[in-house]
Amino acid sequence: LRNTFRKQPASKVIVFLLCKDSVDFMFFLLAHGGLVPEATNGQAHADDLFKDMDDAEARNKSLEDRRREKTEQAGLKLKDEDITLESSVISGVGLYRLHGSMPQKRRTETFLAFSKARHASVLFTTDVAARGLDLPNVSSIIQFDPPSGIDSYLHRVGRTARLGRAGEAVLFLLPSETKYLDMLELKGLRPDDERMEGVLKQMAKNEGARKGNEWQLRAGEVQAKMERFVVSNTTASGLAKQAYLSSIRAYATHLAAERHIFHVKYLHFGHMAKAFALRETPNQVAQGKGNNTKADDTKKDKKEKREKEDALKKKPRFKRGNDISEFAVGDISAYYGPRVKRGRDDSD
């Protein structure tokens, strides 16, 4: 996205994802992820967002100001009525989202707002925007998740370079997915192969990097910053975990003809979790474990209290049979012998 807006500052970009949970997470992350203060060595503790900050001005803030900002950032929510938000990660860029679970009215409002936007804009969407919508002046298509079929790929890239205008389409592929390029070639499509390392090096160079490995440091800083935001914000954490799980489920929906390339068994779940800025292990995410929030603890306490109250309300059970003391007040039915149901004798 940075490269795109550097080339064309007022361009429009559509980012395609496989599921609506990924759309909501990316929309929220790029809107608010830049609010986390910078930290040295790309590290910061979740309970102290302002520790080891590089920004001298922020270090000089009063404790009250720091607490207020920390509370404001931790209280950020994803609102259903949010049609557009300004990105805190890439300044001057408006963010939009679109997926099939949104009410029709909100989808229409989002479509119109993105279409009429005159500034740099990004639309995060599922394949609901791949066909049937006339989105003018889209300069770039980014397929963060590969499409579920070749037809979907064609519909996606067809959103750009319309009416004789120039455009570009970018497809992200894992090393295990590069055979997909052969399938595209069979359809007469020959995209250029570009390594992510080269892209990151060029970005770092454009931003003034001098040392050869500085691109790795800058990429690590961005990753750490996004992770700090997810750790510090309850909404972001929940969205990230849900998006991670949903994206894995959606990955399994690829067509049978492509499943030898896109198969869940080829995924590295740890790397997938990192893609959603998660610090928990895949097992912790799947089991609902990890960084417990205050809300989670309160909910757990209420459940335990309710279980104790229910246990006290239960009537005590009396001992039966030989276990009843002669001095105890038991249920007299316990002293009855076994009930035998006699069968009917046909000879009588």
At 135-194, the pLDDT tens digits run 888 989 999 999 988 999 989 998 886 766 778 899 999 999 999 999 999 999 888 888
Question: Looking at the DSSP assignment, which residues form a beta bridge with residue 194?
Answer: none
Residues 268, 304, single domain; the answer is no
Residues 312, 187, single domain; the answer is no
Residues 181, 95, single domain; the answer is yes
Which domain does 323 fall in, by range? 298-335
Residues 309, 162, single domain; the answer is no
Residues 228, 330, single domain; the answer is no
Question: Looking at the DSSP assignment, which residues form a beta bridge with residue 141?
Answer: 14, 169
72: exposed, middle or buried (C-beta count within 10 Å: 0-12, 13-18, 19+)? exposed
Residues 179, 308, single domain; the answer is no
Residues 165, 193, single domain; the answer is yes
Number of compact structural domains in the chain: 2
Would 287 be classed as within a structural domain?
yes
Which pLDDT belongs to residue 216?
86
pTM recorded for the entire structure: 0.73
Which pLDDT belongs to residue 234?
92
Read off φ and ψ for residue 93, nearest 5 degrees. Answer: -110, 130
Residues 14, 155, single domain; the answer is yes
Read off φ and ψ for residue 250, nearest 5 degrees. Answer: -65, -30
pLDDT band at 8 (very low <50, low <70, confident <90, very high): confident
Section 9-30 average pLDDT = 95
Distance in angstroms (rounded) separating the CA atoms of residues 250 and 256: 14
Section 53-78 average pLDDT = 52
Which pLDDT belongs to residue 137?
85
The structure tokens listed for 243 are 């998006």
Residues 25, 119, single domain; the answer is yes
Section 75-84 average pLDDT = 84
Residues 330, 261, single domain; the answer is no
Would 340 be classed as within a structural domain?
no
* DSSP H or E stretch at residue 95: strand 94-98
- 326 vs 29, which has greater pLDDT? 29
Which pLDDT belongs to residue 29?
96
Residues 227, 251, single domain; the answer is yes
